Chains A and B, each alone.
Chain A
């Protein structure tokens, strides 16, 4: 039992060190933004896919925003991918199509497999441009965002691009404020540090782009994936394409305002991530492909992040077991040291990352909410563990995944 605990503590320490390393890199090292200065160019034709499933509350906002971005209008085609919506989504989209002839080409999907990846896969029949940008319907792109997301594709190594997500309803309640802090840590520190260190920035599937030839080379969208973004990140990497992160390409999104929606969201992410870990983990670490050693290590650790929640719970259980078993003193000293380090650093490292991110964002008072993150941490650890257990049980029983759409909270226009 004690040896299993040591292994868990060791793994946790690796993740702890990773958090600190990323944070210190973000605070003190050279920051890579190689493509952000490309403001003048022969801009290529681009297709913007807007994934929408029952999005009557938000779809008009993103279409309005896309019609006013600073990108040559004759080179940008917006395709709202209306995936089997049963609300007013279709009606709203068609109204925009009439208002902006030639600039929006709707894709109304009435059947087929559920899920964003399946919808995007079907919509690809309309795509002819080499650069594709993807937004979820609740996002509101700013004027310069399209150019910023297209610019990295001048680099032939780049297969995918990811921008920064910023919650627009951050101040609504405690949950949104905690999610705002988590997003800061995840993007401002984690993603940017990975970009700086030439590791594996993660494609987020929204505020993002993908190169058509790269997508075709890797076999297109994987409709069996629960998180098409993670799946895409790893297939690109295994095929010699890079995903790059643009920290200054910021876009507003709406975060969940109630805990039940948040729990469903994080459970889906966890299942998708674990699915990718099972599919690509071994091949990434040890297989023959073009990823560098640092990409192999970071990519593997990234694949394991959602698996760490159940591992942590097991670690807690083992620690209690060891305590009540009264293990030998020598082991006890080491275990005590390890557990202390784990308890202190395992939690604080992530908090340190978020605190650094908030400071980099130039905000001040919201940092005082940091202690409440233990609440979000607690909810996440149990939700993600529950997702892992249900995933294993689904494997055994052969049950199919049910796709839960993230509920929106904006008022209908």
Chain B
């Protein structure tokens, strides 16, 4: 072979091999098939009511049909613009709903009820449900999502896969599994052995959160947690203990374990890098944050956000936030005893459970 041609062939082959990985790149550069900016959520800010609001808009077109069905006490079926089949119920007629339940096993439909809605037990409703009136679910039911314009009650051992929003009060009977978001504009009440992930309401009662117990607790003043510089920051390396009954006006950062003994009161916020334990009757006017676990004893009062990066346990009689100043209680895993009261958000990222005893 001609040496010149051999060298040329070699250069050509090497160039070809070098260019090979660039072929898909050049194609993409020319076609711009994935050149859009990453999708950043600009408008909805991860709000808990986002799905409920979207669903309300989605079924807005069914309003006239609902009014007609309510007036006539009948039902109607049809197809929504996106092809989903729906059923509109004009009355809470159990045999009718029972027929729907049978149908749902093979052919799920969106259900919209213009009036009160009572669902039978042991049923699966695999499409979203809208209730214009009161919603009463039977025991051991499975739901995908529920939007109730008044109160929503789930029978014992029911399960919700995605979300529930009640304009009125929401109550989950014993042993319910609330896998997605649950919100109410009034009150959420969870009974014993319920599991949950994300709850939001002006008032969240776990089990029988006796109002009188909480009202009798010392009233917290407004926190100076991050709103002002009035409290200095106390930084401590290693473990730390606040003695029983002590009243402290300071913000605390403890780079170890923190133990706050019974009846102590902190006029500020608290952070621990390791585990934090609050004994009974502790009051904290600011936030409570731990990079590990927090265990809050009975009859404590926390004003600001409570965040544990690993686990959180809250004992009976404890109150987080207040009616005027709702807050967030959050951890990957949360165990909460009956008798706890939270104003605002209770958010277990992985697993939340109402337990009889911690």
Q: Which residues of A contact B (CB under 8 A)?
A: 32, 34-35, 37-42, 44-45, 70, 129-131, 140, 142-145, 147-148, 150-151, 153-157, 166-171, 174, 177, 180, 184, 198, 211-213, 240, 250-252, 290, 361, 363-366, 368-372
Within 8 Å of chain A (Cβ to Cβ): is B180? no
Within 8 Å of chain A (Cβ to Cβ): is B82? no
Additional A-B contacts beyond A154-B225, A371-B21 (20; CB < 8 A):
A32-B309, A38-B307, A38-B330, A40-B345, A41-B328, A44-B226, A142-B45, A144-B41, A154-B226, A156-B225, A169-B37, A170-B38, A171-B36, A177-B29, A212-B229, A290-B255, A361-B38, A368-B27, A372-B22, A372-B25
Q: A171-B32, A371-B21 are in contact. Are A154 and B305 (CB under 8 A)?
A: yes
| Chain B residues closer than 8 Å to A370, beta-carbon distance | 25
| Chain A residues closer than 8 Å to B215, beta-carbon distance | none
B43 touching A240, Cβ below 8 Å: no
Q: A42-B304, A130-B228, A171-B35 are in contact. Are A156 and B271 (CB under 8 A)?
A: yes
| Chain A residues closer than 8 Å to B255, beta-carbon distance | 290
| Chain B residues closer than 8 Å to A140, beta-carbon distance | 42
Q: A42-B325, A177-B35 are in contact. Are A143 and B305 (CB under 8 A)?
A: no
Within 8 A of A (CB), among B186-200: 200
| Chain B 273-291 interface 0/1 with A at a Cβ cutoff of 8 Å (1 = within) | 1000000000000110101
B38 touching A39, Cβ below 8 Å: no
A102 to B249, CA, bound (A): 33
Within 8 Å of chain A (Cβ to Cβ): is B327? yes
| Chain B residues closer than 8 Å to A131, beta-carbon distance | 226
A160 to B344, CA, bound (A): 26
Within 8 Å of chain A (Cβ to Cβ): is B251? yes
| Chain A residues closer than 8 Å to B24, beta-carbon distance | 368
A198 to B325, CA, bound (A): 31
Within 8 Å of chain A (Cβ to Cβ): is B223? yes
Complex partner residue of A170 from B37, B45, B200, CB under 8 angstroms:
B37
* B222: nearest chain-A partner, CB-CB: A42
* A240: nearest chain-B partner, CB-CB: B235
Interface size on B, residues (CB 8 A): 61
A251 to B45, CA, bound (A): 12
5 closest residue pairs by CB, A with B: A144-B45, A171-B35, A365-B34, A40-B344, A368-B24
| Chain B residues closer than 8 Å to A290, beta-carbon distance | 235, 237, 255
A-B contact pairs, 9 of them (CB 8 A): A34-B307, A44-B225, A144-B46, A154-B289, A177-B29, A252-B40, A290-B255, A368-B24, A371-B22
Distance in angstroms from A371 CB to nearest chain B CB is: 5
Count of chain A to chain B residue pairs whose CB atoms are closer than 8 Å in the complex: 164
A240 to B233, CA, bound (A): 11
Distance in angstroms from B233 CB to nearest chain A CB is: 6
| Chain A residues closer than 8 Å to B225, beta-carbon distance | 44, 154, 156
| Chain B residues closer than 8 Å to A38, beta-carbon distance | 305, 307, 328, 330, 345
| Chain B 16-52 interface 0/1 with A at a Cβ cutoff of 8 Å (1 = within) | 0000011011011100111111101111111110000
| Chain A residues closer than 8 Å to B252, beta-carbon distance | 156
A130 to B229, CA, bound (A): 7
* A34: nearest chain-B partner, CB-CB: B309
A130 touching B233, Cβ below 8 Å: no
* B344: nearest chain-A partner, CB-CB: A40
Complex partner residue of B226 from A157, A166, A211, A250, CB under 8 angstroms:
A211
Distance in angstroms from B263 CB to nearest chain A CB is: 23
Within 8 A of A (CB), among B48-106: 48
Complex partner residue of B42 from A142, A155, A372, CB under 8 angstroms:
A142
| Chain B 319-341 interface 0/1 with A at a Cβ cutoff of 8 Å (1 = within) | 00100011110100000000000
A372 to B28, CA, bound (A): 11
Within 8 Å of chain A (Cβ to Cβ): is B126? no
B289 touching A142, Cβ below 8 Å: no
* A176: nearest chain-B partner, CB-CB: B35
A45 to B45, CA, bound (A): 19
A180 to B28, CA, bound (A): 14
B227 touching A37, Cβ below 8 Å: no
B328 touching A363, Cβ below 8 Å: no
B37 touching A167, Cβ below 8 Å: yes
| Chain B 111-151 interface 0/1 with A at a Cβ cutoff of 8 Å (1 = within) | 00000000000000000000000000000000000000000
